[in-house]
Amino acid sequence: MTWQQSLVLGLLAALVALLIQGKLRPALLFSGAVLITYLSGLADINAVVAGYTNSALLTLVLLLLVSLAVEKTRVMSWFANLVGTGSFNKVLVKVWFSTAFLSAFVNNTAVVASMLGAVKRNPNHAPSRLLLPMCFAATFGGVLTLIGTSTNLIVNSFLIKMGAKPLGMFDFFMVGAGTLLTGLIAVLLFARHLPEQDTEMSRESGYFLEAKVGPGSPMAGRSVKENGLRSLKSLYLAEIIRGNQVICPVQPEHELHEGDMLLFCGDVESVGVLQELKGLDLYGQHRLNGQHLVEVIVSHSSRLVGQTIKDAEFRTHFDAVVLAVRRGETQLTGGLGQIELHAGDTLLLAPGPKFAGNKSLSREFVVVSGLEASTRLDATRSAAVVAGFLGVLTLSVLDLVPLFKGLLVMLVVLLFSRILTLDEIRRRFPLDIWLVVGGALAIADQLEKSGLAKLIADWLMGEFNGASPIIAFIGIYLFTLVLTELMSNNAAAALAFPMGYQLALSMDVSTMPFILAVLFGASSSFILPYGYQTNLMVYAAGNYKMPDYLKLALPVSLAYSLGVIVMVPLLFPF
């Protein structure tokens, strides 16, 4: 073994050990490894830069940025509202397929976050028996298309780097569809064993929000419980104001009337949840159209102190709508517009285009900060964003316009139309993914150039001596599956791909089954709730305990693996 191979092998071993340990961010580890290869003379500057400017990686970055606009649309809310009624099995099937379909085209985390509220509001079935299946459906949906998850595009980046034919949008759709069906069978058999947890939110201090039951609202004439207002995501219905009457505390059987003012306590995500409730008008609703939310704290010297939001003519002076108010641990009462502001109050704002340029901001507020949340776009702009996104994907599938070019044009349009802003892009830029994938590509280049990848492949050949290609395929799949449970799915794909690809070349068989072994294996994070962000989201929201979680996670993981191991060799022979 040469010194170059020894150095790369040592780097790889250290990288794997530190990733499993989990104390340092993967982006930092991959960037550090690339820096060592450069400083040691293994890689020149061109090789390093090539990893971070890979066309598939840049396409992934553009896709994630454009997805920020898709997240603001009402399409996911529309899907969420379709899944509420019917028997348990019927609702489960609707949740499964609608979540999977959305996840095939939109970021998994955004889909789960959007569906979470609707599932928790289901009045007929315990949310704890639906949340985990919904989360797993998002993972299954991610492997239906090339853009379903960042892991797929990472694998595609490696293929382009190797000079191989890149994956098409639906090249592995049939395998994904097969696993989707095996997963559904497991969910239908085992979801009933999940506990019926009460996920209703307790009363707690937070932002104070106001909404009104509009004329002709479907909520009128129905009780609080029937409208699903007792199990809202991160929201508590504190008061109902009906004319001069204040109803507090609010009981589940209280009937809502047209014109009722509903006062909620909740977190920053509550704005999006309330916007999605049909027949409920959020305070300032007509001014909300996809703005990136900001948080301000009223200064002691502010002229707003002692004035109500309405009397201060807040919208006129600051070009911003006050959506919510928070005052430490104090529980606020009365209408939002009638709250007398105090120094130290935190206001949640949906800013207009002139807000940032207002010269009085520094005098009136102590802090002005952006949040990782936005209001929903109106129906017209939502439809335009979805149509544009689908148009870009269609042109790419038909080979009329490259996906990168189409996404770039769409991003420019989104910026000019102010559906997205440069501030949002700066805040939500997927820097970690860019650093991990770019670093992984640079390291993979060194694995190949140093000959270490071939050396490892030859060793694996010796281990699989006399074994059929399908045994080697299963071995690579299980290796990737174990990695993705121990570290992030992107890191697992980055480490497993070079080995799987070189093993296929050494065995002189088709590389496609081994490529898909890595692709599907890296997206198989089911068993541990901490292995994937969406798992952790529903683990907390559903009040699950580890034994409850494993009741469904283990059979789903087995069903997924069975689908991959059967479908891949069947559709992509060696």
What is the pTM (predicted TM-score) of this model?
A: 0.64
How far, CA to CA in Å, does 572 sit from each of 502, 513, 567?
A: 18, 6, 8
Same fold: 208-283 with 294-369 = yes
Residues in the chain: 574
What is the rounded CA–CA span in Å between residue 462 and residue 457? 9
Position 402 pLDDT exceeds 50: yes
What is the rounded CA–CA span in Å between residue 469 and residue 71? 42
Q: Between 516 and 312, where is the model more confident?
A: 516
Position 205 pLDDT exceeds 60: no
Position 378 pLDDT exceeds 70: yes
| pLDDT value at residue 15 | 77
Report pLDDT digits (tens) over 17-29: 776 666 777 788 8
Position 322 pLDDT exceeds 50: yes
Position 161 pLDDT exceeds 80: no
Q: Count CB atoms within 10 A of the CB of residue 404.
A: 17
Output the average pLDDT for the chain. Answer: 80
Average pLDDT over residues 453-467: 68
The domain segmentation of the chain, as residue ranges, is 64-199+389-428, 208-283, 294-369
| pLDDT value at residue 114 | 67
Q: How confident is the model at residue 297 (pLDDT cuts 50, 70, 90)?
A: confident
Nearest residue to 57 via CA among 550, 558, 433, 443: 433
- CATH superfamily of the 208-283 domain: Regulator of K+ conductance, C-terminal domain (3.30.70.1450)
Position 457 pLDDT exceeds 80: no
User: What is the sign of the dihedral through the CA atoms of 310, 292, 366 and 329?
Assistant: positive
Q: How is 210-228 classified by DSSP, letter by letter?
A: EEEE-TT-TTTTSBTTTTT
Architecture of the CATH domain 294-369: 2-Layer Sandwich (3.30)
